[in-house]
């Protein structure tokens, strides 16, 4: 296990401070804004020490090495989740828009993702720079608040930088038909749960670009500052591109698909080329979408870095 940055928040907190961490949970309607004018000072989650780390794979400082370690860990998660989704057929009905009685208009996928995000947001998700909801509008506020220290010193501008819409669009319209075989088995909710796992980890990977950009900025502040002041996107893109690393990443994720996607039997580990998800498709995911969108995030973040 990596070591964590231990940033304890003294407990019990003075009462005036609790307002910043504790909000009333609500069991009210999923998709409507909620009344959160009351606070609940006795809430259990308050009486805790928080140990903050960056992202789910926790590293102990904001360095390019520690960030790369996290990104490499997320590659595993991405490959696992793609393998899971590829077990199910496309189930395309889940992605077609339809008016729902009750007022909601959208696809079953939109309904399920929006609903799940609302529940998770109440439980404290979407408060760190790498966690971005796909449906931020009318998201109920959290009742478990993470201390701002999980921002690792990133400026507030980081919050407004996101490419969630692009991630959703490429995943549903371009990538998913390549990943899942044609067919319909009626397992719509299961398919979408699997899609959400894919989307959330891909989004986390891409939005980690904010940390990447911050570290690169700190390492070459002068060069980046000049390009930012000139609003020179091309120069920024050149500064932050490392083609050698990108090629390595694409090779590595393909290799992970061969290792994690093989049939494991007791007698032998299969050496056939019958992997659960096509390794070249995982490479392509990174080449066409994950890496370019990460760089978009980095550029957008940098352009607001000096605000």
**Residue ranges in 112-151 that form contacts with a second copy under rule CB under 8 A:** 112, 115-116, 119-120, 122-125, 131, 143-144, 146-147, 150
Nearer to a second copy, 62 or 189 (CB): 189
User: Quick check: helix, strand or coil at residue 183?
Assistant: coil
Q: Which two tokens mark 305?
A: 């870095």
Residue 109 C-beta: closest distance to a second copy, Å: 9
Which CB contacts under 8 angstroms, 24+ apart, belong to 29-32?
30/114, 30/115, 30/118, 30/119, 30/140, 31/104, 31/114, 31/115, 31/118, 31/138, 32/138
Which of 63, 164, 187, 235 binds a second copy (CB under 8 A)? It is 187
184 binds a second copy (CB under 8 A): yes
- Contacts of a second copy in 147-176 (CB under 8 A): 147, 150
Tell me whether residue 167 or residue 180 sits nearer to a second copy (CB atom): 180
Q: Which of 67, 78, 88, 297 binds a second copy (CB under 8 A)?
A: 88
How much of the chain is helix, strand and coil, in % rounded to 5?
55, 5, 40
Q: Tokens standing for 301?
A: 């973040």
Mask: binding to a second copy, 45-84, rule CB under 8 A, as x and -?
x--xxxxxx--xxx--------------x--xx--x--xx
Q: Which is nearer to a second copy, 187 or 225 (CB)?
A: 187
Q: How far is the CB of 155 from a second copy (least distance, A)?
A: 21
Shortest CB 265 distance to a second copy, Å? 7
* Residue nearer to a second copy on the CB measure, 112 or 240: 112
Between residues 151 and 217, which has the closer beta carbon with respect to a second copy?
151
Would you say 138 or 221 has its CB closer to a second copy?
138
The rounded distance, in Å, linking the Cα atoms of 40 and 18 is 8
**How many residues contact a second copy, by CB under 8 A?**
83
- Between 24 and 43, how does the x/- string for binding to a second copy read (CB under 8 A)? xxxxxxxx------x-x--x
Region of 221-229, 232-240, 263-271, 281-289 interacting with a second copy (CB under 8 A): 263-271
Q: Find all residues with CB under 8 Å of 209, minimum gap 6, and list them.
A: 294, 295, 296, 297, 298, 301
Give least dist CB 239 to a second copy, A. 25
What DSSP string runs through 252-299? HHHHHHHHHTS-B-SS-B--SS--SS-HHHHHHIIIIIIHHHHHHHHH
Q: Which is nearer to a second copy, 125 or 305 (CB)?
A: 125
Taking the least distance from each CB to a second copy, the nearer of 225 and 262 is 262
Collect all residues with Cβ–Cβ distance below 8 Å to 5 and sequence separation of at least 6: 51, 52, 53, 54, 60, 61
Interacting residues of 34 by C-beta distance below 8 A, sequence separation 6+: 26, 28, 140, 141
- For a second copy, the binding residues in 267-296 under the rule CB under 8 A are 269, 276
- 191 to 250, contacts with a second copy by CB under 8 A? 192-193, 197, 248
Choice between 37 and 229, CB closer to a second copy? 37
Which has the closest alpha carbon to 192: 44, 61, 92? 92
The closest of 165, 160, 131 to 289, measured between CA atoms, is: 165
Query: Could you tell me which of 301, 41, 53 has the C-alpha nearest to residue 158?
Result: 301
CB of 207 to a second copy, least distance (A): 14
């Amino acid at each position: 296990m990596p070591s964590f940055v231990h940033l304890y928040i003294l407990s019990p907190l003075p009462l005036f401070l609790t307002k910043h961490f504790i909000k009333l949970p609500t069991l009210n309607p999923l998709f409507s804004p909620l009344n959160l004018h009351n606070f609940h000072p006795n809430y259990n989650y308050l009486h805790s020490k928080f140990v903050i780390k960056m992202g789910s794979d926790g590293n102990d400082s904001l360095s390019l090495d520690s960030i790369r370690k996290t990104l490499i860990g997320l590659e595993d998660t991405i490959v696992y989740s793609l393998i899971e989704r590829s077990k199910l057929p496309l189930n395309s009905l889940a992605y077609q828009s339809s008016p729902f009685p009750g007022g909601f208009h959208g696809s079953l996928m939109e309904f399920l993702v929006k609903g799940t995000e609302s529940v998770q947001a109440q439980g404290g998700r979407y408060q760190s720079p790498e966690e971005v909801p796909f449906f931020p509008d009318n998201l109920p506020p959290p009742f478990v608040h993470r201390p701002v220290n999980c921002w690792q010193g990133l400026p507030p501008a980081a919050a407004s930088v996101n490419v969630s819409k692009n991630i959703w669009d490429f995943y549903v319209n371009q990538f998913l038909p390549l990943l899942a075989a044609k067919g319909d088995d009626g397992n719509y909710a299961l398919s979408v749960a699997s899609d959400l796992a894919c989307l959330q980890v891909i989004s986390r990977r891409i939005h980690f670009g904010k940390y990447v950009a911050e570290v690169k900025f700190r390492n070459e502040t002068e060069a980046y500052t000049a390009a930012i002041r000139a609003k020179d996107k091309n120069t920024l893109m050149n500064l932050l591109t490392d083609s050698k690393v990108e090629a390595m990443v694409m090779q590595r994720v393909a290799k992970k698909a061969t290792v994690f996607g093989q049939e494991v039997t007791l007698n032998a580990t299969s050496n056939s080329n019958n992997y659960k998800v096509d390794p070249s498709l995982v490479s392509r995911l990174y080449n066409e979408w994950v890496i370019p969108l990460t760089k978009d995030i980095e550029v957008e973040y940098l352009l607001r870095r000096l605000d």
